[in-house]
Amino acid sequence: MRIAYVSVDPGIPVFGTKGASVHVQEVVRDLLARGHEVEVFATRIGSDVPVDLADLAVHHVRVAKTDDAAARERAQAEASASIAAKVTAWEPDLVYERYSLFSTVLADVVEATAAVGVLEVNAPLVEEQARHRDLVDADAAWAALARQVGAASATVCVSDPVRDWVRAHTFGERVHTVPNGVSTTRIRPAAEAAGDPVVTFVGTLKPWHGVDVLVDALARARAPWRLRVIGDGPQCEALTEQARALGVEVDFRGAVAPAEIPDHLAGSAIGVAPYPATAAETDQYFSPLKIYEYLAAGLPVVASRVGQVPAIVRDGLTGLLVAPSDPDALAAALDALARDEVTRRAMGHAARAEAEAHHSWTGVVDRILAHAGLARVA
């Protein structure tokens, strides 16, 4: 098939270091591996291009930069129209679009051609934009979402809360849950580093990842373990100062390209995901890539008991679940695994088996294509 992968969100580079970019690359990579002809149409490209995607055809349509919220929304709609024209001219068999505000590329192309459409929804973007940023034309945002869902043969959402949000606001009938995955070939188990066990966090340093609680837990630890933090973000300076004030040493490694994640996970003994408590359970709508990566790396996972996490981490088998925003509980769980190498190894083996059996990107894409009526189409 000829597949157009579309991303109109100017905040998500195709070749970036954050989870959204990883998701884009892994879906494209899997589609290419099946023998499909894939071209990407996007508003932001990025510079961290992995070697195996260096020859990927990427069509760049820029969104005009402006500080005016209304003008920015119009610019996104204009970029959507430009991309839709390019994709229509290319005549794809499948349009696979990562949902973004004000985009109607999928709907425009499906209406103009015989293409099948798959819409991937990762977050309740309309409400996120209204709550955390600026949303001027909410009616246009909701209308775009409804039109996209109506035109898609399948809308696939990363979690049940996101699926329920789409259904509630569009009355779509072909809306499904397909959680994120992990490359079990790119990320594999590696031996633990010598010395005290290494506890590793991967992710953007923002409040909703709870790294401040993790640093606090390190200060309260009663067993020896080391903390490695892979990622960057607006909290980096504050977290560095927090560690200094508490008198603990943290290995902050900064932003890392997706291709380098396996090397930075190597030597780890435990993966950690200390998500904080939120005001509403519906705020915990994410499908955490970091946890899937820990499982694939054969690491036992210590994570907060929130959102979709209990469905991914099997408490007592592939890791330990703790109350969110509780540094004492987090420290106790990490201490327990740091002291017990036998349990760490058993959980790590189970984690790897879980990733291979249930969370590979191949399986994820299989389910997405099946929902669109395209199962195993070559």
Q: What is the pLDDT of residues 245-295, one digit of tens each?
A: 999 999 999 999 889 999 999 999 999 999 999 877 667 888 899 999 999
Structural domains counted in the chain = 2
- Asked whether residue 51 falls in the same domain as residue 20, the answer is yes
Rounded to two decimals, the pTM is: 0.92
- 159 and 210 inside one domain: no
Of 95-109, 130-144, 305-319, 331-345, the one with minimum mean pLDDT is: 130-144
Q: pLDDT, tens digit, for every residue of 187-226?
A: 999 999 999 999 999 999 999 899 999 999 999 999 999 9
Domain match, 23 and 158 both: yes
The 10s digit of each residue's pLDDT in 66-102 is: 889 999 999 999 999 999 999 999 999 999 999 999 9
Mean pLDDT of the chain: 95
Token digits for 196? 């005290």
Residue 330 in tokens: 């987090």
> Are 128 and 258 in a shared domain?
no
State the residue range of the domain holding 7. 2-181+360-371
Q: Is residue 334 part of a domain?
A: yes
Note whether residue 187 is domain-resident. Answer: no
Query: How far apart (Å, rounded) are the C-alpha atoms in residues 226 and 210?
Result: 17
Q: Are residues 63 and 162 in the same domain?
A: yes
pLDDT at position 171, please? 83
Q: Is residue 188 part of a domain?
A: no
Specify the pLDDT at position 179.
Answer: 96
Residue 236: inside a domain: yes
Same domain, 7 and 153: yes
CA distance 41 to 92: 12
In this structure, the answer to whether residues 21 and 157 fall within a common structural domain is yes
Distance separating alpha carbons of residues 181 and 288, to the nearest angstrom: 9
Answer whether residue 160 is part of any domain.
yes
pLDDT digits (tens, 9 = 90+) for 346-366: 999 999 999 999 999 999 999
Together in a domain, 299 and 353: yes
Burial environment of residue 222 by CB neighbours within 10 A (0 to 12, 13 to 18, 19 or more)? exposed
DSSP assigned state of 315? B
Whether 25 and 165 share a structural domain: yes
Q: How far apart are CA 313 and CA 288, in angstroms?
A: 11
